[in-house]
Structures are given as structure tokens and as C-alpha cells.
Amino acid sequence: MTGFGQAVDAALEACVVPGFSRIGLAVRSRVLPEFTASEPPAVDGKVVIITGATSGIGYAAAVALARQGAAVHFLARDRARAERARRGIAAESGSTRISYGLADMEDLDAVRDFARQFRAGHDRLDVLIHNAGAIHPQFRTDAAGTELTVLGQVIAPFLLTRLLMPALLAAAPSRVITVSSGGMYTQRLDLATLQMPRSRYRGVTAYAKAKRAQVALSREWARRMAGTGIAFHALHPGWVNTPGVAAALPGFYRVTRPILLTPEQGAGTIVWLAAMPPERLGSGRFWHDRRPRPEYPLPWTRGHDPSGVRELWDHLAAATAAGAPKLAQAGLDSVAADHDISSRGQR
């Protein structure tokens, strides 16, 4: 990067509002080599799973990846919406390799069924993209008492990654990409408060806490799976004009609407991370506008990381063990020994 580009990028990062908006993307796309260097797409023939691809950022990412030659399989809750999305993605991308499976990310049995069906029909998975997100305005739990934001944003993505690990290993070098949100910058990882009580529940805060956990877990997956050929990345897509933002943050939406990114622009770094050669990306990083970024611009949000995330990882590994593929059956026994992906964790 030139000195001028570095200075401009640093200024945008410090100013926050332009940095996360279409202003920042417009400037960076002209001065950063990650945008200006010509890179051929690297997803032709690859198999991609995207959660939350019936609209917004996920839909735009699915179109772009399919257009570049990937076989896109997405997860959706509703068959009618899924079928509409499949037809739309196919029409916009010109690809016939678009398929979907049905599951609610707040139903772990449905997630297990989705993974089982995918593994039955596919022997490899090159890219897994965790994009699905939902902000619940009221406190709601499943039958076991788990608040739905924690269930859908923390537990279910962890479970899905674990269940699809054999297919990711078979495709190595492969990657797992987690789409975060700006709210996580305001939160620290604290297991004691990750699930908010009914009396103090705020949907936006619960979502931000879950997104902080997602980013921390992505880094922990990268640490534990180092050397396996599976890379883990998390990213902030920027401030994007989506129905979810308009519904959950109406005040923010009214003020920032003129400078919000389009879903296609918000999907840009997702697609770039899916396509770039693995040696260019490393693993365990947090990205925005195609560059690694600090996870903790507010120092007090560091909290108990990294010990907290290791405890969370161990807890999730134990909680999701039922229905996960047996290590020996999945060909992961040596990986477990070398990289400790069991519930024992690393200390």
C-alpha cells in the first residue's frame, strides 16, 4: 500500500461514520491495492454454503459467487422464500448450480438435519458463510430456556461448523466466513452476561453480544484448527441498507440512509474472502473493506478474552456433542489429537 493510501485508510478508520459507509468504500476502492489489483476469481467449481441468503447481503453474496462459478447451496427457514431466492439467484447469476436446504437456525435439530442432508449429497465444502442474523425485539427462549439470539447466532453456527467439518477437511484448503456487525464493537465477551435476563433484555444489545461471541469464536476456531487447511475469517460488512437494519434500528436508518451501502457493496468483502488464495489471507483475522482490522477499537471491550472464548468454545463443544459426527467416522481422530477439537479445549 502506498503511504497516501495508508494515510487515507487510517483516517477513514478513525472517523468511523465515513469509514463504514459508502463514502469509505468509494475512497478505499480507489486507493487500496486490495481493490485496484486485478485478481482472477478463485471460486469456479467450488461448493459454497450461505446461511441467510433469501435477501440482503446473503442474497447478494450468493449471486456474486454463483456468477463467478461456485455451486451455491443456501439455508433458509421458509420453502416459499427459498424457492423465490433460488430462482432469483439463478436468473441474476446465469448459474444452474443453485440449491437450498430448509432449517431454522434457532432449531438445533433442524440444523442437524440440514447438515446431514448436505453431507449425504456432497463430499466436500469449500466455503461456509455464516450470514444469517435476526434481532428479536422481545425476550424469547426455546423449550430449554435458551434465549433465541444466543441460540441462533452463537450455538447454531458453532454446531453447523462442527457438523460440516468432515466436508471442510475434504476440500482443504477451505474456509469459514462469519459476517458480524458494528454493534459488537461496543461489547466485550462475558459468559455471565452473554444471555441477557428477561428483566434487562434489549434486542439490539443481545445481538451485539452474540456478534462479539461470533468474532471471538472465529479466532478460536482458527487457533484450534491451525495446520488443517481450514481458515476462519470474520468481517464487518459496513453499514448496509437492508430490511433488517430498517426494522431493528429505525432511528439509525433514517439518519444514515443516504450513505448506507447497497447489499451488493456489503457483500463485497465476503465474496473477496471466499475467492482469494488462502496464502494471501492467513486465518483468524477480522476484516472490513478487504483489510484486517482491530477487533477492539474500544479497549475496555477486551474483557476476559482470550480465556473467556476458550471457556465458551469448550462449553459449546460439550453442548453440541449430541448429533455431531463421531471423530473416527468423520476421519477426524488424528485432527482431534493434534488440534484438540474435542470438548477438552486447549489451555
- Active-site positions read 207
Torsion of CA 145, 147, 148, 154, to 10 degrees: -110
Q: Is 162 exposed, middle or buried (0-12, 13-18, 19+ CB in 10 A)?
A: buried
CB-based contact 82:100 (threshold 8 Å): yes
Amino acid at 219: R
C-alpha 215 chain-centroid distance: 8
Bond before 18 cis per omega within 30 degrees: no
Residue 48 corresponds to which cell in the numbers above?
459454497
CB-based contact 242:184 (threshold 8 Å): no
